[in-house]
């Protein structure tokens, strides 16, 4: 009956994805069926860890994250967990030989969110982004190439650039919430209270550079993964365009988003471009 338990576990990971992120769910649905569930499994794991440090303010976050971490190591060792999110994640880790150092780098960044409120230089900033975003892109890449190490090595830098771009867009979009609700600022040398349009443009130029590197890798992805990743890329590019068109003072005071109707239009146009082989 282990198969039934695994099925229930994977249903939980899918439900987590659908409940927490309509955009990520939409992109994941565009992936091939053979890899879709494993992406849900990765998302469920990273989302739960992120929720501990970002949302559980009335609880002992340090204890909860440490317990989650301990349970993860047991799950990886025993290849089973009564925590359905960890059970589905360990299954994906073992299926695609996802390196433990990627998982540990992610957990390190989550631990930083418990104690660190600002990043004072580029080295600290890049280290956090690597652990919180780049390694998630690399976990997904392992799935996209189905464990093919040669293909993974070829696309690794592009996957990291895409992870960085997504995270930096999130930082810019969530500037207000991160500062006012969580007491965090991620961009080094930026004063939240005095952020200027020039500051914003420098951040956007950096993100655009990441997107350019990432796009080259998207073109080389296997067909099962290409459209789903292209869809996520297009969504974040649209969000970045909106942020670029919004004055810095407004970004500081409200969360900029892409409406659901616009997401559907974006999906349709992206699909047309993809089917007409215009993604090149």
Residue 67 lies in a domain: yes
Which has the closest alpha carbon to 142: 181, 96, 184? 96
Is the dihedral angle over the CA atoms 17, 273, 140, 111 positive or is it negative?
A: negative
pLDDT top residue among 260 and 247: 247
Helix locations, 145-222, DSSP H: 149-173, 175-180, 197-218
pLDDT top residue among 249 and 277: 249
The 10s digit of each residue's pLDDT in 48-86 is: 999 999 999 999 999 999 999 999 999 999 999 999 999
pLDDT at residue 115 greater than cutoff 80: yes
Residue 279: pLDDT band with limits 50, 70, 90: low
Q: So what's the pLDDT on residue 269?
A: 65
Give the pair of three-digit tokens for residue 256. Answer: 């900029």
Residue 267, CA distances (Å) to 2, 25, 261 in order:
37, 12, 10
CA distance 255 to 61: 25
* Helices first, then strands: H and E counts in the chain: 14, 0
Q: Which residues fall within 8 angstroms of residue 137, CB to CB, at 6 or more apart?
A: 159, 160, 162, 163, 166
Residue 270: pLDDT band with limits 50, 70, 90: low
The 10s digit of each residue's pLDDT in 32-55 is: 999 999 999 999 999 999 999 999
Helix locations, the chain, DSSP H: 2-20, 22-29, 33-55, 61-78, 84-96, 100-115, 122-129, 135-144, 149-173, 175-180, 197-218, 223-245, 248-251, 260-275
Residue tagged 């969360």 (tokens): 255
Give the pair of three-digit tokens for residue 69. Answer: 């971490």
Residue 156 lies in a domain: yes
Residue 189 structural domain: 2-275
Residue 280 lies in a domain: no
Q: Which residues fall within 8 angstroms of residue 58, CB to CB, at 6 or more apart?
A: none
Q: Quick one: how far is CA 28 from the chain centroid? A: 12
Q: Could you tell me if 230 and 270 are in contact, meaning their C-beta atoms sit under 8 angstroms apart?
A: yes
Q: What CATH number should be reported for the domain holding residue 51?
A: 1.10.600.10
Q: Mean of the pLDDT values across residues 247-276?
A: 71
Residue 210 lies in a domain: yes
Number of domains the chain contains: 1
Q: So what's the pLDDT on residue 221?
A: 96
pTM assigned to the model: 0.92
Q: So what's the pLDDT on residue 27?
A: 87
Which region holds residue 246: left if phi is over 0, alpha if psi is between -120 and 50, else beta?
beta
Residue 271 lies in a domain: yes
Which has the closest alpha carbon to 279: 242, 239, 226, 232? 226
Q: Could you tell me if 243 and 169 are in contact, meaning their C-beta atoms sit under 8 angstroms apart?
A: yes
Residue tagged 């459209």 (tokens): 227
Q: So what's the pLDDT on residue 40?
A: 97
């Amino acid at each position: 009956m282990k198969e039934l338990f695994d099925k229930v576990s994977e249903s939980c990971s899918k439900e987590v994805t659908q409940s927490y992120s309509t955009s990520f769910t939409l992109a994941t649905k565009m992936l091939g069926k053979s890899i879709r569930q494993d992406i849900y499994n990765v998302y469920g794991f990273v989302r739960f860890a992120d929720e501990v440090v970002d949302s559980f303010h009335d609880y002992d976050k340090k204890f909860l994250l440490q317990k989650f971490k301990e349970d993860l190591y047991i799950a990886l060792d025993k290849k089973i967990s009564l925590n359905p999110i960890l059970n589905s994640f360990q299954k994906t880790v073992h299926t695609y030989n996802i390196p433990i150092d990627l998982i540990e780098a992610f957990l390190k960044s989550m631990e930083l969110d418990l104690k660190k409120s600002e990043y004072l230089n580029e080295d600290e900033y890049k280290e956090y982004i690597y652990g919180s975003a780049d390694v998630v892109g690399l976990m997904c890449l392992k799935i996209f190439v189905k464990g093919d190490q040669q293909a993974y090595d070829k696309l690794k830098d592009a996957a990291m650039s895409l992870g960085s771009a997504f995270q930096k867009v999130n930082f810019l979009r969530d500037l207000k919430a991160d500062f006012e609700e969580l007491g965090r600022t991620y961009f080094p040398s930026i004063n939240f209270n005095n952020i200027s349009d020039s500051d914003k443009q420098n951040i956007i130029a950096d993100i655009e550079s990441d997107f350019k590197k990432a796009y080259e890798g998207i073109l080389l992805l296997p067909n099962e993964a290409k459209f789903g990743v292209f869809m996520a890329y297009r969504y974040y590019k649209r969000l970045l365009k909106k942020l670029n068109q919004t004055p810095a003072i407004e970004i500081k005071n409200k969360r900029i988003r892409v409406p659901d109707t616009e997401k559907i239009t974006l999906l349709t146009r992206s699909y047309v471009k993809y089917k007409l082989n215009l993604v090149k």
